[in-house]
Amino acid sequence: MEKVAALILAAGQGKRMKSGLLKVLHPIAGRPMVGYILEATRTAGISRMVVVIGHQAEKVQEVLGSEVEYVRQKEQLGTGHAVLAAEGVIQEDLVLVLYGDTPLLDAATLRAILQRHQESGAAATVVTTELADPTGYGRILRNQRGGIEGIVEEKNAGEAERQIREVNTGIVCYRRLPLFQALGKVKRDEFSGEYYLTDVVPLLLQAGYKVETFLVQDQSLVLGINTRVELARVEKIVRQRHLERLMLDGVTVVDPASTFVDSQVEVGMDTTLYPFTFLEGNTRIGAGCRIGPAARIVDSVLGNEVVIEQSTIEKSHLSDGVHVGPFSHLRADCFLEKGVKVGNFAEIKNTLVRSGTKIPHHSYLGDSTIGSRVNVGAGTVIVNYDGQSKHHSEIGEGAFIGCNSNLISPVRIGDGSYVAAGSTITEDVPEGALAIARGRQVNKEGWVARSRHRAPEK
């Protein structure tokens, strides 16, 4: 079996994106677009992946990490120049040239390309597709026998050549020695100053080598991205495919057109996703959950039978049977144990909430530990920030916190204790005690009639 190296070109800036971010790092369904081609390559069984980097090289390395190798293209002088930059590091028999902006290309297609190339014995196998509108693509030129004889870029194509619908995708599998021999003979384009990889094909044919083509029937697989418009089109396809996989695995998606699930998100069987739900990042959702409508969950883990209504969950862990919302916000580092209920307009941050506790509505709990079976009254605020530092508070098991209470951190509310409504607690409350910290009510009889500031009659 011949050894294969995948060479992924990711050095170009992508000027048509009109962005300060390198094109191949633009996210599609929560993942940089170059990540999709790396996954497909890995799944196809190609273990050696070399990425050609140039613009924002350090950022690409930071995103992709150490699972791939890198070659730096110091000057961006075209695709041929990019491949030539890797000559010294690639020793494998076959070189599969790929692009970081083709995220829909899958492992099955890559395996088929390699198989065709190896069976044909060709020096190069050019991957093509047919487009109803081939504008902007290089056209495949064929001889009378149907064999490929060259690739003509659109700017150099005549009127008859512009009518050709078969186009070059840029993806090619080469035998190493003929590839680099031909690249050494490629001349710099007099107009652009670049070295084009497409010029290798006629050079191989002139040297007597065999060149084959591989036609991809599903043109969406080889769609490249150059603009934000194309980015949106591809993202729609990626999301739709992922939703279809989820539905086939037993997830109900009420309206796929208004449901947005990142490609790495996992969702359990019999969970229902309602419209305008966003599941992002490394989120995992269990079975039998109800999510939405209008919910956003980011990098979080949800157990089974969790209900999230019109709320935002970020970097948190919710155990089985938790109910959140509507209109609540769980910020980073929350852990809600089994059966916790969070009602409407509550905000929780960096807090452990033990099983069976209820936080019905209009409360803020930050940097705290809440025991099991606690009732948190409406308007309760854990005042965790003194202007310089955050402080931690604890509420013991079975405690009752009355409405409109302020707990000034750091403070501990003992097991089974009560805090009277409207209290501002600055000291620990012992187990089983009632804490009252508010001004005594005073009624001034006849005050309204005597007051110079009496309210005007209606």
- Note the pLDDT tens digit of each residue in 381-431: 999 999 999 999 999 999 999 999 999 999 999 999 999 999 999 999 999
Q: What is the arithmetic mean of pLDDT over 138-163?
A: 90
Is the pLDDT assigned to residue 364 strictly greater than 90? Answer: yes
Is the pLDDT assigned to residue 94 strictly greater than 90? Answer: yes
Tokens of 90: 């690639």
DSSP, residue by residue, 70-126: EEE-SS---HHHHHHTTTTT--SSEEEEEETT-TT--HHHHHHHHHHHHHHT-SEEE
What is the CATH architecture assignment of 237-435? 3 Solenoid (2.160)
Residue 1: the pLDDT is: 63
Amino acid at 34: V
Measure the CA angle with vertex 83, ends 82 and 85; round to 5°: 70
Residue 455: the pLDDT is: 57
Q: Which helix (H) or strand (E) holds 63?
A: helix 57-64
Q: Are 29 and 235 in contact (CB under 8 A)?
A: yes
Tokens of 53: 């980097």
Residue with tokens 């035998």: 175
Tokens of 406: 């302020």
Strand, helix or coil for residue 258:
helix
Distance CA 357, CA 340 (A): 5
Q: What is the arithmetic mean of pLDDT over 74-84?
A: 91
Residue 452: the pLDDT is: 66
Q: Are 417 and 430 in contact (CB under 8 A)?
A: yes
Is the pLDDT assigned to residue 41 strictly greater than 80? Answer: yes
Task: Dihedral sign for Cα 51, 56, 58, 63, please.
Answer: negative
- Of 184-193, 273-282, 395-404, 409-418, the range with the lowest mean pLDDT is 184-193
Q: Which CATH number fits domain 4-222: 3.90.550.10, 3.30.70.20, 3.30.420.590, 3.30.200.20?
A: 3.90.550.10
Look at residues 278, 210, 218, 266 and name the one whose alpha carbon lies nearest to residue 242. Answer: 266
Distance CA 115, CA 275 (A): 43
Distance CA 209, CA 84 (A): 19
Query: Percent of the chain beyond pLDDT 90?
Result: 89
Q: What is the arithmetic mean of pLDDT over 290-297?
A: 98
- Per DSSP, the chain holds a count of helices (H) and strands (E) of 9, 39
Residue 457: the pLDDT is: 59
Is the pLDDT assigned to residue 342 strictly greater than 90? Answer: yes
The pLDDT-based confidence of 154 (bands split at 50, 70, 90) is: confident
Is the pLDDT assigned to residue 74 strictly greater than 90? Answer: no
Q: What is the arithmetic mean of pLDDT over 426-438?
A: 97
Q: Are 106 and 40 in contact (CB under 8 A)?
A: yes
Look at residues 220, 215, 226 and name the one whose alpha carbon lies nearest to residue 240. Answer: 220
Is the pLDDT assigned to residue 170 strictly greater than 80? Answer: yes
Distance between alpha carbon 429 and the CA centroid of its chain, in Å? 46
Q: Are 180 and 190 in contact (CB under 8 A)?
A: no
The pLDDT-based confidence of 264 (bands split at 50, 70, 90) is: very high
Distance CA 242, CA 256 (A): 10
Could you list the active site residues? 361
What residue ranges do the domains of the chain occupy?
4-222, 237-435
Backbone φ, ψ for residue 82 (5° rounding): -65, -45
Report pLDDT digits (tens) over 104-135.
Answer: 999 999 999 999 999 999 999 999 999 999 98
Q: Are 358 and 339 in contact (CB under 8 A)?
A: no
Distance CA 33, CA 21 (A): 12
Is the pLDDT assigned to residue 13 strictly greater than 70? Answer: yes
Distance CA 242, CA 246 (A): 6
Neighbours of 62 (CB within 10 A): 10
Is the pLDDT assigned to residue 58 strictly greater than 70? Answer: yes
Backbone φ, ψ for residue 285 (5° rounding): -120, 135
Residue 192: the pLDDT is: 83
Average pLDDT, the chain: 94
- Give every CB contact of residue 10 below 8 A, 6+ residues apart in sequence: 22, 24, 34, 51, 52, 53, 60, 99, 100
Residue with tokens 């010294």: 88
Residue 391's DSSP bridge partners are none
Q: Which helix (H) or strand (E) holds 224?
A: none
Report pLDDT digits (tens) over 194-205.
Answer: 899 999 999 999
Q: What is the CA radius of gyration of the chain?
A: 31
Report pLDDT digits (tens) over 205-228.
Answer: 999 999 999 999 999 999 889 999
DSSP, residue by residue, 8-26: EE-----GGG--SS-GGGS
Is the pLDDT assigned to residue 166 strictly greater than 90? Answer: yes
